[in-house]
Amino acid sequence: MEIIAEKKKAILESTLKLIKENGFHGTPMSMVAKRAGVAAGTIYHYFDSKDTLIMELFAYTQGQVQEAVHKDLREGMDLKENFFLRWISRCQFYIQHPDVLFFIEQFVSSPYYPRCSPDQNERSQNDIKEFINLGRQHGILRDVDFKLMAIMIHSSIMTAARVHIDGKVQLGEKEFHQLAQMIWDSIRKL
Partner DNA sequence: GGTTGTCTATTGAACGTTCATTCGGTAGTG
Partner DNA sequence: CACTACCGAATGAACGTTCAATAGACAACC
Q: Which residues bind DNA (CB under 7 A)?
A: 5-7, 26-30, 37-46, 49-51
CA distance 156 to 159: 5
Of 2, 75, 173, 185, the residue at the interface with a second copy (CB under 8 A) is 185
**115 is in the binding site of which of DNA, a second copy, none (Cβ under 5 to 8 A by kind)?**
none
Tell me if 176 sits within 8 A of 89, measured CB to CB: no
The alpha-helical segments, DSSP class H, found in the chain are 6-22, 29-36, 40-46, 50-72, 79-96, 98-108, 118-123, 126-137, 146-165, 173-187
C-alpha angle 165-159-74 in degrees, rounded to nearest 5? 90
CB atoms inside a 10 Å sphere around CB 81: 11
Of 32, 91, 160, 161, the residue at the interface with a second copy (CB under 8 A) is 160
156 binds a second copy (CB under 8 A): yes
**148 is in the binding site of which of a second copy, DNA, none (Cβ under 5 to 8 A by kind)?**
a second copy
CA distance 134 to 120: 22
Q: How far is the CB of 44 from DNA (least distance, A)?
A: 4
186 binds a second copy (CB under 8 A): yes
CA distance 47 to 45: 6
The contact mask relative to a second copy for 2-41 (x = CB under 8 A, - = no) is -------------------xxxxxx---------------
**169 is in the binding site of which of DNA, a second copy, none (Cβ under 5 to 8 A by kind)?**
a second copy
Q: How far is the CA of 128 from the CAs of 18, 86, 144, 157, in angstroms?
A: 29, 8, 14, 11
Q: What is the DSSP letter of 57?
A: H
| Closer residue to a second copy, CB minimum distance, 8 or 164 | 164
Of 3, 71, 76, 109, the residue at the interface with a second copy (CB under 8 A) is 109
Cross-strand partners of 188: 141
Touching a second copy, residues 126-155 (CB under 8 A): 142, 144-145, 147-148, 151-152, 155
Cross-strand partners of 141: 188
Binding site for a second copy (CB under 8 A): 21-26, 102, 105-106, 109-111, 142, 144-145, 147-148, 151-152, 155-156, 158-160, 163, 168-169, 175, 178-179, 182-183, 185-187, 190
